[in-house]
């Protein structure tokens, strides 16, 4: 196999440079994986390098396995002897063999993230610290960031700047938690993920003999996605390569987007300072995108000051101009995009898998999901669960459901001790058991709790009952948004999420705000027959048909954050919410460096597209329950206008109407259900009585028969065949169904 003939001259130069340090600057879509793969194959096949002496480091197991398989197709089973894997897997392997030198047995335990957070939570409790202030997510991230910068707990507590930061955040005890955490891990003979890096550095620093051993073993060190390395990762690999100096790194400074995880762009920008005899190869030919997309991306990234100069180009066709689309609101943006996807599919004969919708934050998926559901297009949310299945969203919905229906057991279980109010599982089980034994409703038992439970339980239970009563009264006198906001705030749920300043905590808080925004939009919609919580819950019960991931069906629209999309490509890409304060993110910009990272993120988003790129934004967007005016992002304005197609007409509505008209010709129209026909006093049956074969009535869909009932992720679902609208999948906790005798 003459693999070199598949390479352009620059790729070939990188592959055949086998002696001395080499930096490959690989622009988007330039074939960096092929270069890395072929170089390893070339070392083994042509230069007879022992695979055992080659160390290749990646960031994902998937990337490592794919490269190993490609190499094996060229050199045979010798590829299986490579030291190839993620930083964590390779360093763990070394620590298994050498960890006894720093006090760890070969069978040490690796704590996952949840293990680490549970231990931190326990330490906070033991130190009698406020768990609402010292949230395990926040503390974990502080300790993780410290380890990635090789800051030990002793250095942490003696660093004046760090101590000042913790004091300003009202968390002066993090250093002490860090110290106890490290000691407890060591006592348990356990390492967390960050320890796999931190302790490898300690091992090589304190035991030169071990370092010398691996320096001799690894004659060639190769690193993929070098721009994503943190301080610790680079320091270790630099040490390993310092003897033979055959270090080969591939990356793109323009795609360095993980600073929040500790990635340091200076590793790639300053690489030449550490290796003065460095060979630099630039892969500038893009094989992925059209000329218009490549040129637009270049015009964006050239605005950054901290960069390695390169001129990415392509032989591909000119392609369509980049479409910039404006919507009135975020919900209209979702509808606009779903219609554009519908149009593109029919006009170009594309499939769902040809499309990706990319957003800056996870909370933005809500409007996209709802719009795609309405038009009947299958989608999959990557890097998380669909909006209405996210824990924090389900938590608030559970509060709303329980205020409407005091006998909802699933909702009761979810909210009774969240936020924590000292009611354990034993007490919860006893409440439900008492309800069943006494043959009384759950609410009846709660109202008369003093008849059944001791003082300790009553101390927490009575305030909960009083709170639910107050919510019920408040809800009867206010619309859904005012009620939901009051419940979210008074219950303590909002405060609990707000106090968690970790990346994950901020995302969860944003999701709650987005749920409240959706309720506000529901209230502001004059077409709705009523504006109470009950009606809103009925509405969203109809939006859950596609809330399950079906990996067997590959024909779905991909929805994901831009961070998740890195390394992927799609024929048609929508980058949504390209507005000031959202993208670039107001929360992430405090310095020029922050702005440049946001711009690199935008560059990554643009370069995911192969053929057609849409950039969309809204004139208005709900923020904290208020309709705010929005501005088009500066990033759109930074694109050379030669590559942009601005349209005031958002979508070819006549085309869509014609297609939909054809699809609906043979569909029986829904029986007329006027607002007046819907009984506001509609009384639903107990969900435990809703079984297969039972005839039911729905306040909007009319009569039907339950075809199937199942439980998925603790949610009870039913497929109901209605006479007027056909089959619908409903969540029984949301949907109102009345049994017809």
**Helix 653-664 / helix 330-348 crossing angle, nearest 10 deg:** 70
Q: What are phi and psi of 9, to 5 degrees?
A: -60, -35
- In the residue annotation, 534 being an active-site residue is answered as no
Catalytic residue among 86, 227, 255, 434: 255
Q: What are phi and psi of 639, to 5 degrees?
A: -75, 135
694 secondary structure, DSSP code: -
Alpha carbons 114 and 159: distance in angstroms, whole number: 28
Task: Tell me the HSE value of 677 on the side-chain side, using a 13 A CA sphere.
Answer: 9
SS3 category, 506: helix
Contact 603, 565 (CB under 8 A): no
396: left (phi over 0), alpha (psi -120 to 50) or beta: alpha
Strand segments (E) across 328-462: 355-359, 379-381
DSSP annotation string for 35-91: HHHHHHHHHHHTT---GGGEEEEES-HHHHHHHHHHHHHHH-GGGGGSEEEEHHHHH
Helix, strand, coil shares, percent, the chain, to 5: 50, 15, 30
- In the residue annotation, 721 being an active-site residue is answered as no
- In the residue annotation, 645 being an active-site residue is answered as no
Cβ-based neighbour number of residue 149 at 10 Å: 15
Largest distance between two CA atoms of the chain:
86
513 is written with which tokens?
A: 């705000």
Closest of 614, 589, 616 to residue 600, by C-alpha: 589
Catalytic residue among 219, 608, 612, 717: 608
SS3 category, 620: strand
Catalytic residue among 33, 58, 314, 513: 33
Residue 213: is it exposed, middle or buried by C-beta count within 10 angstroms (0-12/13-18/19+)? middle
Adjacency order of strands within the sheet including 570-575:
379-381, 557-561, 355-359, 570-575, 609-618, 322-327, 644-646
Contact 499, 133 (CB under 8 A): yes
Alpha carbons 698 and 336: distance in angstroms, whole number: 30
- In the residue annotation, 225 being an active-site residue is answered as yes
- In the residue annotation, 33 being an active-site residue is answered as yes
Alpha carbons 522 and 586: distance in angstroms, whole number: 26
**CA distances from residue 611 to 429, 467, 571, 636 in whole angstroms, order as listed:** 57, 55, 5, 18
Closest of 20, 29, 163 to residue 603, by C-alpha: 29
Alpha carbons 526 and 701: distance in angstroms, whole number: 21
Catalytic residue among 136, 225, 514, 597: 225
647: left (phi over 0), alpha (psi -120 to 50) or beta: beta
- In the residue annotation, 255 being an active-site residue is answered as yes
Closest of 251, 110, 113, 235 to residue 185, by C-alpha: 110
SS3 category, 325: strand
Contact 282, 31 (CB under 8 A): no
Contact 483, 471 (CB under 8 A): yes
**CA distances from residue 605 to 264, 597, 637, 717 in whole angstroms, order as listed:** 20, 12, 16, 37
Alpha carbons 410 and 699: distance in angstroms, whole number: 23
Closest of 323, 360, 418 to residue 611, by C-alpha: 323
Q: What are phi and psi of 559, to 5 degrees?
A: -115, 125
Alpha carbons 224 and 590: distance in angstroms, whole number: 30
Catalytic residue among 166, 224, 392, 539: 224
Active site (catalytic) residues: 32-33, 224-225, 255, 608
């Amino acid at each position: 196999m003459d693999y070199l003939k598949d390479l352009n001259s620059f790729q070939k130069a990188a592959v055949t440079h086998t002696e001395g340090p080499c930096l490959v600057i690989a622009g988007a879509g330039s074939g960096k994986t092929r270069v890395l793969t072929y170089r390893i194959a070339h070392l083994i096949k042509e230069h007879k390098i022992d695979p055992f002496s080659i160390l290749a480091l990646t960031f994902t197991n998937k990337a490592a396995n794919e490269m190993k398989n490609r190499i094996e197709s060229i050199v045979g089973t010798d590829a299986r002897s490579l030291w190839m894997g993620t930083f964590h897997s390779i360093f763990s392997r070394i620590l298994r063999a050498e960890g006894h030198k720093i006090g760890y047995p070969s069978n040490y335990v690796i704590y996952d993230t949840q293990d680490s957070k549970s231990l931190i939570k326990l330490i906070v409790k033991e130190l009698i610290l406020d768990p609402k202030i010292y949230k395990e997510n926040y503390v974990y991230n502080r300790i993780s960031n410290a380890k990635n910068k090789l800051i030990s707990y002793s250095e942490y507590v003696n660093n004046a700047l760090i101590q000042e930061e913790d004091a300003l955040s009202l968390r002066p005890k993090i250093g002490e938690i860090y110290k106890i955490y490290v000691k407890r891990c060591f006592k348990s003979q356990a390492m967390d993920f960050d320890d796999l890096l931190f302790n490898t550095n300690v091992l090589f620093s304190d035991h030169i003999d071990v370092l010398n051993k691996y320096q001799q073993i690894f004659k060639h060190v190769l690193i993929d996605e070098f721009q994503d390395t943190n301080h610790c990762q680079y320091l270790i690999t630099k040490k390993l390569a310092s003897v033979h100096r055959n270090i080969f790194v591939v990356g793109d400074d323009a795609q360095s987007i993980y600073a929040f995880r500790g990635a340091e762009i200076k590793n790639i920008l300053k690489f030449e300072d550490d290796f003065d005899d460095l060979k630099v190869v630039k892969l500038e030919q893009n094989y992925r995108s059209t000329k218009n997309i490549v040129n637009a991306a270049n015009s964006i990234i050239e605005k950054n000051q901290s960069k390695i100069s390169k001129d990415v180009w392509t032989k591909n066709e000119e392609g369509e101009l980049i479409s910039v689309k404006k919507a009135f609101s975020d919900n209209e943006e979702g509808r606009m995009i779903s219609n554009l996807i519908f149009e593109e599919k029919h006009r170009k004969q594309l499939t769902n898998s040809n499309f990706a919708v990319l957003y800056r934050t996870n909370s933005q998926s809500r409007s996209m999901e709802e719009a795609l559901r309405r038009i009947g297009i299958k989608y999959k949310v990557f890097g998380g669960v669909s909006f209405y299945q996210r824990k924090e969203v389900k938590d608030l919905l559970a509060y709303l459901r329980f205020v409407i229906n005091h006998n909802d057991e699933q909702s009761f279980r979810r909210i009774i001790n969240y936020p924590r109010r000292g009611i354990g599982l034993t007490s919860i089980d006893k409440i439900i058991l008492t309800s069943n034994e006494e043959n009384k409703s759950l609410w009846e038992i709660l109202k008369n709790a003093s008849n059944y439970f001791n003082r300790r339980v009553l101390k927490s239970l009575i305030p909960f009952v009083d709170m639910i009563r107050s919510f019920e009264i408040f809800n009867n006198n206010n619309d859904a948004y005012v009620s939901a906001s009051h419940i979210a705030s008074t219950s303590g749920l909002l405060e609990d999420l707000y106090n968690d300043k970790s990346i994950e905590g901020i995302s969860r808080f944003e999701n709650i705000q987005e749920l409240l925004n959706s309720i506000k939009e529901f209230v502001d919609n004059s077409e709705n027959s009523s504006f109470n919580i009950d009606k809103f819950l009925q509405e969203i019960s109809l939006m859950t048909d596609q809330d399950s991931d079906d990996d067997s069906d590959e024909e779905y629209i991909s929805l994901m954050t831009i961070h998740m999309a890195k390394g992927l490509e799609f024929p048609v890409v929508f980058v949504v919410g390209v507005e000031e304060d959202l993208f670039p993110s107001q929360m992430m910009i405090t310095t020029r460096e922050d702005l440049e990272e946001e711009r690199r993120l935008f560059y990554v988003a643009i370069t995911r597209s192969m053929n057609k790129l849409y950039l969309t934004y809204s004139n208005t967007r709900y923020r904290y329950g208020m309709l705010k005016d929005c501005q088009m992002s500066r990033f759109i304005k930074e694109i050379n206008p030669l590559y942009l197609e601005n349209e005031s007409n958002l979508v070819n509505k006549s085309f869509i109407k014609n297609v939909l008209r054809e699809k609906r010709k043979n569909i029986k129209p829904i029986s007329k259900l006027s607002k007046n026909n819907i009984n506001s006093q509609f009384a639903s049956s107990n969900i435990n009585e809703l079984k297969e074969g039972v005839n039911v009535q729905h306040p909007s869909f009319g009569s039907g028969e339950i075809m199937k009932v199942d439980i998925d992720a603790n949610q009870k679902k039913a497929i109901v065949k209605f006479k007027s609208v056909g089959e619908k999948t409903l969540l029984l906790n949301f949907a109102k169904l009345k049994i017809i005798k």
